[in-house]
Amino acid sequence: MTVASTLALVLALLLVAIAAWTVATRRTFAAVEGFVAYGLLLSIAWVSLKAIDVALTEAAIGSGLTGVLLIGAAARLRTTEAALSAERPGTPLRWLAAAASAAVAGAIAIGVLSLPDPAPTLAPAVLEHLPSIGLGNAVTAVLLAYRGIDTLLESIVVVFALIGVWSLAPDRVWGGYPGPRQYADPNSILAYLARVLPPIGIVVGLYIFWVGADLPGGKFQGATILAAMWLLAMMAGLADAPPISRTWLRILLVAGPLLFIAIGLAGALTAGAVLAYPEGYAKLLIKVIEAALLPTLVLTLALLVAGAPERTAPR
């Protein structure tokens, strides 16, 4: 057995073990910790499969951002959790749930194991036509040229998710500021970090966004880093989230997807199909779409974590 396959085996066993622990543990907070560690291990697995784009997205969104959201949810559940766990469902119900879960896992396992080997792939076709788009990163080409409709719907779905979070607000604070106002000690270590890290983080986030055309990276990963820097300043009490009734905020939230739709519809006239790009302009248009989606994504991801409005709107 070679070193590489031993490492892969150890990684796979660790993933299964931590997944099982996440399911089995009783405490919600511990389950969230397990989930974050699982996501980070999973991104190492993606790196070892040479899928750097997927690894970056998994680390940034799957583990980082979702982890923060789940920690917030676990903290909110803490007061009611003890009462809930006291009334446990009966043994037959729990066995039924376990059997149903095992059946789903088994069906997925059979599906994965019965895939033809080698799996049918379009990768050579993508690489062959890569020069005609002008991009160096095949993943970005697939996301924005071949499967543009998926990316368009994705960017709309995250805005819908934010609207869903906002709609949890009670009527009297509608249009107000999301989440509680953080009053941290301005001399605290968190405030220091919130001053030192954002300049570095903003450069890294923009770099990852820009380099996505030719190397692993892209708007989702870059936007998550930028949103994290904003959230850091919010948590340290150095900045506050804008009230959700601000006009500029709402315009920026829909500007990205709207521009994407506009360019997509224009493709019907100039290139003969919706979401097609005219010859020679593909790279330019893709970069324009990504640049328009970046502010939308930064705002959406940060405000998703900031939560539903809890304080009244400014008079």
Binding positions for another protein, rule: CB under 8 A: 27, 29, 189-190, 192-193, 196-197, 200
CA gap 28, 272 in Å, rounded: 52
Cα angle 144-133-296, degrees, rounded to a multiple of 5: 30
Nearer Cβ to another protein (27/94): 27
Nearer Cβ to another protein (208/303): 208
User: E strands of 92-155, at which residues?
Assistant: none
Nearer Cβ to another protein (95/192): 192
Residue 193: CB minimum distance to another protein, A: 5
User: 38: Cβ–Cβ under 8 A, 6 or more apart, which residues?
Assistant: 15, 18, 19, 22, 63
CA gap 305, 151 in Å, rounded: 22
Nearer Cβ to another protein (29/174): 29
The encoded tokens of residue 252 equal 């920026």
User: 177: Cβ–Cβ under 8 A, 6 or more apart, which residues?
Assistant: 240, 241, 242, 243, 244, 309, 310, 311, 312, 313
Q: Which residues are registered as beta bridge partners of 311?
A: 177
Nearer Cβ to another protein (30/313): 30
Residue 80: CB minimum distance to another protein, A: 17
Residue 232: CB minimum distance to another protein, A: 10
CA gap 105, 184 in Å, rounded: 45
Nearer Cβ to another protein (45/197): 197
The encoded tokens of residue 284 equal 């330019």
Residue 190: CB minimum distance to another protein, A: 6
Residue 83: exposure state from Cβ atoms within 10 A (0-12, 13-18, ≥19): exposed
Positive or negative CA dihedral for 277, 280, 282, 284? Answer: negative
Residue 192: CB minimum distance to another protein, A: 8
Residue 198: CB minimum distance to another protein, A: 12
CA gap 225, 230 in Å, rounded: 9
Residue 262: CB minimum distance to another protein, A: 38
Nearer Cβ to another protein (173/197): 197
Nearer Cβ to another protein (67/176): 67
CA gap 42, 12 in Å, rounded: 9
The encoded tokens of residue 94 equal 């729990």
Residue 27: CB minimum distance to another protein, A: 8
CA gap 59, 267 in Å, rounded: 34
